[in-house]
Amino acid sequence: MERNTYSQGQLTLSPVTDFSTVTGASFFTGDEDIDDFFWHDAAQHYRDGMAVTYSLCHEHGQRPLALVSLQNDAIRLTPEARTRLGYPYRSTPAVKIGRLGVQQDLQGARHRHSVA
């Protein structure tokens, strides 16, 4: 299994490094803003170290079922919170979901169990 990849049954979550695999022909959410991000911006965010996009596939290498773009972040703690928690640092690491998109044909309650 490649680094930063997670598999559970037939589902695999893995980082996207070849963004030609998430073009309109292979990935379409129906939301113009989300689609535009994954088609045009996600690769640059990856190259700039701003975000890593992960692909959820039913079988490794197949058409993506969903894409999620994750970013590093931090939660800033007030002095009161640090004292109450016994945490000496001013902030704690966090992960932020920058964008999340699901294939349009899989959206909705009628598909809830189709890929489980």
Give me the residues paired with residue 99 across strands.
Answer: 69
91-109 pLDDT tens trace: 999 999 999 999 998 888 5
21-61 pLDDT tens trace: 887 778 899 999 999 999 999 999 999 999 999 999 987 66
Residues 6+ apart with CB under 8 A from 10: 58, 59
Residue 112 structure tokens: 């809830």
Average pLDDT (64-89) is 95
Q: Could you give the domains of the chain? A: 6-104 (3.40.630.30)
Q: Please determine, for residue 111, whether its predicted confidence score (pLDDT) is greater than 50.
A: no
Quickly state the pLDDT bin for 63 (edges 50, 70, 90): confident
pLDDT score for 62: 76
Whole-number Å distance between alpha carbons of 95 and 62: 26
pLDDT score for 61: 60
pLDDT score for 113: 45
Query: Which own/partner contact pairs does 88-97 have at CB distance under 8 Å and 24+ positions apart?
Result: 95/70, 95/71, 96/70, 96/71, 96/72, 97/68, 97/69, 97/70, 97/71
Residue labelled with tokens 């979901």: 97
- Residue 21 exposed, middle or buried by CB count within 10 Å (0-12, 13-18, 19+): middle
> pTM of the predicted model, to two decimals?
0.82
Give me the residues paired with residue 13 across strands.
Answer: 6, 56
